[in-house]
Amino acid sequence: MSNTLVLRLIEGMAGTIESHADQLTRLDQAIGDGDHGINMARGFKELAAQKAAIAALPLGEALKKAGMTLVMKVGGASGPLYGTLFIDMGKATPEAAPTLADLSVMLDAGIRGVKARGKAEVGMKTMLDVLCPVADTLRSLVDQNETDGLDERIIAAAGHALHRTTDMVAKRGRASFLGERSKGHLDPGACSSALLIGAVVGVLAPSSAR
Ligand code: ADP
Ligand code: MG
């Protein structure tokens, strides 16, 4: 993956988070403490400030450095979890430019880290409820060697999965304190995950973003 591509990925993610920070905050006001947009915007702004230094590194190291930055700057519950996602993806990154199959393996590794760190699984109304279905979709498309329209299918999987968090009862994080009352709202972390996936797909497969 070229330096320019990593630069554009950072810019894409930071831009999406910045322009949706208010929405993320509103979602977190409904079932949390209202800081998710602020947390994410702070972390991704710092990532954007360091983009040249990060993009100069080999991809695995770039992902690790980005993850450390997110751990330090995002804060809250989501900072260490997003940090782990990036760091563990970095550890699973091959030296050669990653293929789609490599990306699938990297995402699976990152998700394993998030699950372990947050002691969470699918269905608990967290970021994992978007990340896991997206990883499953990517893995099955790669396994079937069906890469036509992969970008649209990933975006659709993320949107569909995000929507499904509305009916879930939160079992982790602050929203879990609300019990049944956490129903009826999108999960903020699931929403930021869907936004980040949209940004990444928009950069890697720009035709789908038009
Ligand atoms: P905080 O809850 O500390 O205020 P944020 O508001 O930044 O942190 O992030 C909240 C989001 O973090 C939730 O919407 C959820 O998606 C995610 N989250 C919280 N706890 C966990 C966990 N144990 N595992 C996975 N994701 C979690
Ligand atoms: Mg919060």
How many other CB atoms are found less than 10 A from the CB of residue 7?
Answer: 17
What are the extents of the domains in the chain?
3-208
pTM: 0.97
Question: Which residue in 2, 86, 5 sits closest to 43, CA to CA?
Answer: 86
Indicate whether residue 128 lines ligand 1 (CB < 6 A): yes
Return the number of other C-beta atoms located less than 10 Å from residue 29's C-beta: 15
* Percent of the chain surpassing pLDDT 90: 94
User: What integer pLDDT is reported at residue 205 of this predicted model?
Assistant: 87
Which protein residue's CA is at the shortest distance from atom 12 of ligand 1?
78
Any ligand 1 atom below 6 A from CB of 189:
yes
Q: What is the pLDDT of residues 86-105, one digit of tens each?
A: 999 999 999 999 999 999 99
Q: Ligand 1 in contact with 32 (CB < 6 A)?
A: yes
Was domain 3-208 assigned CATH 1.25.40.340? yes
Q: Which residue among 27, 82, 130, 172 is best mutated to probe the pocket of ligand 1, counting the most ligand atoms within 8 A of its Cβ?
A: 172
Amino acid at 192: S
Q: What is the pLDDT of residue 207?
A: 61
